[in-house]
Every structure is written in C-alpha cells, then in structure tokens.
Chain A
C-alpha cells in the first residue's frame, strides 16, 4: 500500500475512526488532487464523521453547511447585516459624513455576515474542511450554484469586489440518495460509497469508540447487529445505533448479551414502533442462548438465514 494512504489511515485511526482501504484511498486522493469527495451511503454509517475526522487529523477548522429544502445562496454564502446597517444609518443621520462615505462604511466587512461557503473561502491560516451535509436535500438550483463555487473558489460581492480563496478548502459532500444528483456535480467529485460495516470492522469500531466494552460483549453486539441487519426494517440500525446500544448495555453492567436485558434495551437499536414489534415477536431467547455458546463470527453465518426467515414480513 502506498505510504500516503497508510498515513491517512493512521491519522484517521488516531482519531478513533476505523477506516477501510477504499475510504483511506479516496481521502488520500482528495487531499492530493484537491477534489471534493462525494460520500453516499445509508443513514448512520459514518458519512459525516469522515469530514470531522479529516479536520481533526489535519488539525484544521471544520466548516459545516447543513442543506435543507429551500436553502438559497444567501444563507449559504453571505448576507449583509441589514438591521445593523439600518441602525448605523440612523445614528449617522445628523452626522457630517457624505453619502459615499456612509456607503463605504455600511458595506464593509464588519457589516458582512459570512455564511459557511464564504467562511471556507476566507479562512486565513490553513485550508479548512468544508462539509456540505445532505446535499440531496437542497434544491437543484442550489446544486448548480454550488458547482460554480466549487470550481473557482472565488466569490464576487458587488460592494466589496472578488474574494479569492487563500487556501483551497478540502470539500466533503454527503448524500442519502433521496434524489439523484446532477451528472456535473457527480463528475466533479471523487466518489465514495460507505456500506454498513462488516462484522470485523464493526467490532473494531465498537472497541475504538466504547473502550469500556470488553472483547466478548463487543463481539456479541457486532454479531447480533450483523444478523439483525440481514432482515428488512423500516429504519435499519446504523453504526451510531450500535454504539448507543453498546453504551446502554455497559451502563447496565452487562458483559454479554442477556436475553432479558436485550429486550429491555432494544429501543436504542430500533427507533420504529413497527420494527420493535416485529423484533419482539421473534425468538430472541433462542437466538441469544445460542450466541452465548458459540464463536460470534461463526454464529453470524449460521443464524443469518434462519433469522431472515423468521423476521421476514409475513
């Protein structure tokens, strides 16, 4: 493996983020080629986390733009602080300044509200990490506007002139695939798909994030979640849920999966009433007693098909 990729992997792991090779390679390339990364994947697999970890690893600022329906250029780029401008005009009403002088004052930097995109461009010390979260929730027009900003990293404010990026930011976009993004945007970005982790990876994530969990508990949790994910759910439990659940189990001083405690804590794993009802109908006791007597990874292969059948929607 290339040294650079290895370094990235180590940097991310130092931040307690368990990577795999695909993630490390893409992040490395994003830094080398200075291209934006588009990360897609199911909810709760750690898409946003990549940006956070990247900024921590590079020891630089993380600037986040959360997208939503109706997000427009104003709220993403900059706005004039209109109330402040109004008040200044009022204060100066009896003053001696000429109109031109007044204009120069109220359209200067102190009256500018920098929104995330502009902040990313004007960051002074180091290149920041710009996280554009859930881009699929923004409108298509916003996507087009974003494309323009991402290609030039410069912004023209009529009253102030053109502002060029001092340091080109590292850009991370995430999407939950609720709509298809435009080809132009997809082409411009490196693509990374993060899937639900494998047993091995999830086990490592639990160990890294919940240090209090012992090996046995971590393995059993990882195994149980693997098997559960093989069925279809209204809200599939993501890695975040796995970690919540593990912490919940720890708080109850469990060192292995006890059927009684599992039933009581399932709310940390499943957030949908119908899902919970379906799971509660299943023979969890049988499953878990079996799990307690076996090597977890082996149990995953054996139990998956049975569980899938048992939990299939009737």
Chain B
C-alpha cells in the first residue's frame, strides 16, 4: 500500500467528525483533536483499528454504535479502497440509498445540516426508523412492539428513581458525608471533657411521596393500560408507599399483586382476577367506591394520580362529586390522559369536562417523554 497523504487524511477525518456530529454524536473540538491524535498512534492501514479507535472517542452509549457503524461504512467504505489504487478525489460516495437501507438507521448524511433542521423533502422516503431511547420517548405507547418493552422498563425505572430521591427538610444521623450535627457532637464531647473529638454527622432524609394510583383498564384504554401498569409497577417497587387500584366498571385494589417481583406474573394475575378487565367505563362510580372503601389511605400529603382517558359512560354528576371530594382529601390530584398526546384532542368528553375543575394537574401520558416530564413535576412541586 502506498503511503497515504496525511493532509488529505486529516481533512477527511475532520469531515467525518462533522458528519458524526450532524448525527448527534457527542464530539467537541477536543474530541476531534483526539481523533487526529489517535490516528497517529495506530496503523491507519488497518480498517478495524481505525473503526474501533474513532468509535471509542465518538460514541457514548451502545445505542450510538449502529449509527456510528453505518456512517463509518458510508464515509470510509469507498475511501479505503481508493487509497490503494487510484487515489485522488476519493470523495466519500457509497450510494446514499445503499447506506441508509443497509442499516435501518435514519441518518443525516449531510454534515452541514444540523440534526434539528427539517429533512429534505426528497429524503423523506419511509425508512424504518432506528429506535434508541430518544426516539422511543416520543413514540405513542399504543404503537409499541414487544421487544421495545425492555427499554421502556429501564426508562420507567429511571423516572421512578428520580421520583424517589426527594430530600426532605428533616435530617437523619449519618455515618459520613452530609453536615456536622452540632447537637450530637456536643453531646458526644461530654465524655472527652468538653472537647468535641468525634464529629457527628447528619444528612437530609429522603422523603418519598405517598402516592395513590388509580388506573383505568377499560376497553378504550386497552392499548395503553399495559404500559401504564408497568409504570405503576416501577413506581411501586421503587417508592414503597404506593397504593394502586384499577377500574373499569368497578374498582379493585391491586397493590398486593404488584408486590410480586415479576412484572409479567403481576400483570397476569391482575388480568385473571379483575373480573371486568377491558369492560366499559364508569369512572364516577369507581371513584365513589374508592372513597367509600379506601378513604383512610388518603391524607393531606398524598398525591393521587388518575390514569384514564376520561371517556365515561356513567353519570357525570357522580364523577364531579367524587373528584371534588378526592381533591379535598388529598394533597394534589393529577390526571394523566393518554389522549392528551394527540394535538387535536380537547377534553370535551362529558366525564372529562366535569372532572377537570377538580384536577390540579392535567397531563399527557401517552409516551415516555410525558412520563418523564411528570417525574420532574412531582419532584419540583409536591407539597
């Protein structure tokens, strides 16, 4: 192999880095410099070395790998061959269509185009979309495939954990870290004749919000209820103090089912033991049953979350009365509505309209991003 012209290589590398950046890989100027330095230390004749070296600098999560590999193939595929023979003007040209189709990845092949700018109209053929978490986050729950579930489960766990880590105003003794606990330090100093030899420490308590979740599993919610139940499962297993209920025509307490360590077991048992799963919807009636039977789980520090599309077939007055009492007896009532995800939805359904005045927060729950947003809101605002 002839000695590659280093200047051309450098230019191409910089161009390649720009291409990577245009596809949302994390590369600052420092990393581009690193790529150039890395290339000097390895054998650039060895394609695999080059690919792996730049990959370790340019990527930062496994989901980046398919994107990176496709771009590498696209950019260097021809390049490398050319350096052997004809050289010169080896512009990066593996057919664009080829590169895109080979990889099932939605690529931006123009480094000058920022990732956010709208795609060219000619590029807008219907390609299979790559689905790392960012894409998943925007995808409507009703359109998920089974293999994407794992990713969702992971993400909901992260949300639930974020919910759980809320520092309270109170302190608890700690072995290390935190601040010095003066009271206990002074107390401990007594045995050293007044010299505070040992410093006691304290740290803020973590206060977990007390949650009551009431999930609609009627037929109109079919495509969502599985994912919402998964969300409940994650919440309950992270937060501890969660009471959960499901309803369609009547209400059932399901807290105990979710104690099972296997989500599938839990879902199956609920489906088996809740008689009117996928039935009609009587929100008002179900909520009044809740108030009748389980009123004692509510207190002024409980956040109630209702997950429902609000398509009620019962009496709207009953619903309004139940919602009013629910709001009065809890800290906050949050209504999560999967239909809120579609832009043309207006809460006009009779049930929803009558419940709305008694809801503190009305939010969408149709995809991961919306659940994450909820996590942030709960952390920031819960009393």
Contacts and interface: CB of A to CB of B under 8 A. Distances in A.
Interface stretch (A24-32, A59-67, A249-257): A24-32
Interface string A134-162: 00000000000000000000000000000
A29 B262 contact: no
A1 B49 contact: yes
A21 to B, nearest CB: 6
Contacts of A208: none
Contact of A4 (B41, B48, B154, B196): B41
A187 interface: yes
Contacts of B154: 177
A25 B56 contact: yes
A29 B37 CA distance: 10
B240 interface: no
A192 B62 CA distance: 9
Interface string B186-206: 000000000111110001000
A5 B42 contact: yes
A38 B26 CA distance: 14
Interface in A293-314: 313-314
Interface stretch (B10-18, B27-35, B220-228, B298-306): B27-35
Contact of B161 (A90, A179, A186, A187): A179
A33 B34 contact: yes
Given A29-B56, A33-B38, A70-B178, A86 B261 contact: no
A193 B261 contact: no
Contact of B60 (A38, A70, A234, A273): A38
Interface stretch (A71-79, A98-106, A210-218, A263-271): A71-79
Contacts of B59: 191
A193 B65 contact: yes
A7 B265 CA distance: 50
Contact of A22 (B37, B42, B52, B178): B52
Interface residues of A, number: 48
Given A70-B203, A313-B262, A40 B62 contact: yes
Given A4-B42, A5-B49, A71 B177 contact: yes
Interface in A21-61: 21-22, 25-26, 28-29, 32-33, 35, 37-38, 40
B261 A272 contact: yes
B43 A234 contact: no
A260 interface: no
A187 B31 contact: yes
B57 interface: yes
Given A35-B34, A179-B161, A2 B56 contact: no
A187 B28 contact: yes
A82 B198 CA distance: 8
B65 to A, nearest CB: 7
B53 A29 contact: yes
Interface in A164-190: 177-180, 183, 186-190
Contacts of B198: 83
A230 to B, nearest CB: 13
Contacts of A314: 264, 268
A232 B61 CA distance: 22
Given A25-B53, A191-B60, A2 B195 contact: no
Given A75-B176, A75-B177, A26 B52 contact: yes
A258 interface: no
A200 interface: no
A189 B28 CA distance: 12
Contacts of A86: 195-197
A90 B199 CA distance: 17
A274 interface: yes
Nearest to B264: A313
A191 B61 CA distance: 8
Contacts of B26: 183, 186-187
Nearest to B38: A29
18 contacts: A1-B49, A2-B43, A21-B48, A22-B52, A25-B53, A33-B34, A33-B41, A70-B174, A83-B197, A179-B162, A186-B26, A187-B26, A187-B28, A188-B30, A189-B60, A191-B61, A234-B261, A273-B261
Given A71-B177, A86-B197, A234-B261, 12 more contacts: A26-B52, A26-B56, A29-B56, A38-B60, A70-B174, A72-B178, A83-B197, A87-B197, A186-B26, A188-B30, A190-B57, A191-B61
